[in-house]
């Protein structure tokens, strides 16, 4: 469920990027941006209206993906405690608060996953894709136009007409983070499955030896 939800979010942001490119290619109407200022808004074009729909779909799928990922993280955290016989580094409340507490959300979620992997496979290095995922996630989160953009959708449309490259960089980071997260989920789940079965712990999901951090 977690990997499926992540791929759906990645697909939603990819579609969003396509619509932003379409807006940039079409160009801003002669009547100006949707938000005319002073509380005045012009009638949206059909392309702008469809972008609102695309954006709304993304807003809907993100919470479902968040729930699926957190359920997975909580379960592998419990598995790691059972496999290692030691308590997790982070208290359980951080599985949720780690994503929203300012400053702490810059490293706690990565630390949660890293701790699970270390406890599940102490003789293995962390998969490099973990750092790739987290770097892309931070770009998407901090760019201001990714998962947590502050502008209204009409303001984002106006940016697509003038600075679409900023939107596309952020979209690429979100899509890349979603795909990288799939490999993170698979890597952590794989080491736990192998450890539980009593077999050898496999290499990182991307086939590399990984990096100890």
Between vectors from CA 198 to CA 185 and to CA 88, what angle results, nearest 5°? 50
User: In the structure, what pLDDT confidence band is assigned to residue 140 with cuts at 50, 70 and 90?
Assistant: confident
Selection from 200, 136, 142, 124 nearest residue 174 by Cα = 136
Residue 67: inside a domain, yes or no? Answer: yes
Where helices occur in the chain by DSSP H, the ranges are 2-26, 46-84, 94-97, 108-120, 129-142, 153-162, 164-197
pTM for the predicted model, two decimal places = 0.85
pLDDT for position 149? 61
Residue 202 lies in a domain: no
How many structural domains does the chain have? Answer: 1
Asked if the structure places residue 127 within a domain, the reply is: yes
Q: Is the pLDDT of residue 207 over 60?
A: no
Whether 205 is in a domain gets the answer no
pLDDT of 73 higher than 50: yes
Which carries the bigger pLDDT value, residue 202 or residue 176? Answer: 176
Specify if 213 maps to a domain: no
Our CA angle for 105, 111, 114, nearest 5°, is 145
Burial (CB count <10 Å: 0-12, 13-18, 19+), residue 52: middle
Task: Please check whether residue 157 is in contact with residue 151, taking contact to mean a CB–CB distance below 8 angstroms.
Answer: no
The domain of 188 spans 2-197
Is residue 100 one of the residues assigned to a domain? yes
How far is C-alpha 67 from the chain's CA centre? 12
Q: What is the pLDDT of residue 148?
A: 57
**79, part of any domain:** yes
């Amino acid at each position: 469920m977690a990997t499926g939800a992540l791929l759906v979010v990645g697909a939603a942001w990819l579609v969003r990027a396509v619509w932003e490119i379409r807006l940039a290619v079409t160009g801003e109407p002669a009547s100006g941006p949707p938000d005319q200022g002073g509380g005045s808004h012009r009638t949206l074009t059909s392309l702008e209206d469809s972008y609102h729909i695309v954006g709304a779909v993304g807003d809907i799928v993100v919470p479902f993906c968040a729930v699926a990922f957190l359920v997975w993280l909580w379960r592998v955290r419990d598995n790691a405690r059972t496999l290692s016989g030691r308590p997790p580094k982070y208290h359980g409340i951080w599985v949720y608060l780690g994503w929203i507490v300012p400053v702490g959300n810059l490293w706690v979620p990565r630390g949660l996953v890293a701790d699970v992997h270390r406890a599940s496979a102490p003789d293995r290095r962390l998969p490099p894709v973990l750092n790739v995922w987290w770097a892309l996630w931070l770009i998407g989160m901090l760019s201001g136009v990714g998962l947590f953009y502050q502008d209204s959708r009409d303001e984002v449309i106006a940016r697509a007409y003038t600075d679409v490259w900023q939107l596309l960089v952020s979209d690429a980071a979100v899509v890349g983070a979603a795909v990288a997260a799939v490999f993170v989920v698979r890597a952590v789940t794989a080491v736990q499955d192998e450890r539980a079965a009593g077999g050898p712990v496999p290499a990182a999901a991307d086939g590399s030896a990984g990096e100890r951090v």
